[in-house]
């Protein structure tokens, strides 16, 4: 049993590339009207055009998701235009190349924490009143494997921020379940997205091909979004079968820890 997305409204942050782009296409393909947010307007316009060509509706709302005022304005616009919001895909995130304790700067830490935690927090705060009024809504947050398991790969700022996103999502369920609202946090291991370009050690095309792909995450997001109202998937931990964190290869381990 699934929930029909025809006529529903979904808002995707970080929609300009990677998981967000793939999720927007999947949700639109399932009948949802999709609102696209990201810092770069050009890729959002291109994505909206692709969605429109498929016969679905997409609205572009560019903005910095670390700006609480801009997030609030986007949600006000969604409420005015559609009168509802059924699905939030809080997917924005970033990292810095200088991520180890001996290289991380206060500005770098702030950038990472704002991009990964503050963005999800502000989006949640903005959409919850609208969803409470409906007595329905699904929040889907892209955290990370680093939100559950500590390793040197992602760096302390990213790891701390993603752990906080996991806690945030569970706390939403504790308070909002009585209002018909469900929150799901996704903890994927490596996904072949542009964020890999900021790794201190380059990731080879061969390794990227073995990782989770954006379409894999989009399929999972669509699955979560279409569960019946009485079902809450609190947390999903997902990895590629060939998990670089598990492979007993000293050379590989050195590369991961760089």
pLDDT (tens digit per residue) in 76-120: 999 999 999 999 999 999 999 999 999 999 999 999 999 999 999
- pLDDT tier for residue 196 given thresholds of 50, 70 and 90: confident
Q: Given pLDDT bands bounded at 50, 70 and 90, which one contains residue 255?
A: very low
What pLDDT sits at residue 1? 65
Whole-number mean pLDDT of the chain? Answer: 93
* CA neighbor of 192 nearest in space, from 176, 174, 206: 206
Distance CA 114, CA 161 (A): 8
122 is catalytic: no
The whole-model pTM stands at 0.93
CB 120 within 8 A of CB 167: no
Opening angle at CA 96, ends 60 and 164, nearest 5: 75
The CATH number of the domain covering residues in 9-238: 3.40.50.720
Quick one: pLDDT at residue 258?
A: 30
List pLDDT tens digits, range 31-65. Answer: 999 999 999 999 999 999 999 999 999 999 999 99
pLDDT of residue 254: 37
Average pLDDT score over residue span 145-158: 93
Sequence ranges of the domains in the chain: 9-238
Of all residues in the chain, what percent carry a pLDDT higher than 70? 95
Is the pLDDT assigned to residue 200 strictly greater than 80?
no
| pLDDT of 233 above 70 | yes
CA distance readout (Å), 85 to 82, 106, 206, 209, 258: 8, 36, 40, 35, 42
Rounded CA-CA distance 244/258 in Å is 13
Q: What is the mean pLDDT of residues 198-208?
A: 83
* Rounded mean pLDDT, 199-215: 89
Q: What is the mean pLDDT of residues 157-182?
A: 98
Nearest to 143 by CA among 182, 189, 177: 189
pLDDT for the residue 256? 42
Q: Which of 62, 120, 158, 183 is catalytic?
A: 158
**Percentage of the chain modeled with pLDDT above 90:** 85
Question: Among 102, 111, 92, which residue's Cα sits nearest to residue 23?
Answer: 92
DSSP 89: E
Task: Provide the pLDDT for residue 249.
Answer: 60
Q: Output the pLDDT for position 248.
A: 64
């Amino acid at each position: 049993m699934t929930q029909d997305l025809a006529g529903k409204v979904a808002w995707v942050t970080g929609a300009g590339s990677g998981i967000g782009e793939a999720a927007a296409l999947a949700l639109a393909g399932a009948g949802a009207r999709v609102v696209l947010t990201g810092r770069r307007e050009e890729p959002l316009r291109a994505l909206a055009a692709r969605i429109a060509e498929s016969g679905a509706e997409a609205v572009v709302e560019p903005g910095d998701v670390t700006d609480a005022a801009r997030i609030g304005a986007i949600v006000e616009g969604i409420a005015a235009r559609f009168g509802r919001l059924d699905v939030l895909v809080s997917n924005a995130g970033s990292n810095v190349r200088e991520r180890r304790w001996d290289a991380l700067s206060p500005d770098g830490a702030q950038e990472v924490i704002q991009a990964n935690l503050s963005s999800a927090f502000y989006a949640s705060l903005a959409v919850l009143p609208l969803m409470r009024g409906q007595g329905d809504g699904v929040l889907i947050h892209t955290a990370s494997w680093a939100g559950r398991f500590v390793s040197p790969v992602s760096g302390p700022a990213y790891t701390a921020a993603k752990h906080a996103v996991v806690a945030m999502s569970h706390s939403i369920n504790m308070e909002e379940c009585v209002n018909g609202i469900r929150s799901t946090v996704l903890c994927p291991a490596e996904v072949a997205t542009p964020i890999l370009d900021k790794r201190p050690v380059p990731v080879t095309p061969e390794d990227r091909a073995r990782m989770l792909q954006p379409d894999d995450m989009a399929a999972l997001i669509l699955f979560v979004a279409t569960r019946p109202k009485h079902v809450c998937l609190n947390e999903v931990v997902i990895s590629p079968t060939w998990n670089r964190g598990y492979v007993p290869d000293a050379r590989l381990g050195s590369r991961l820890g760089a």
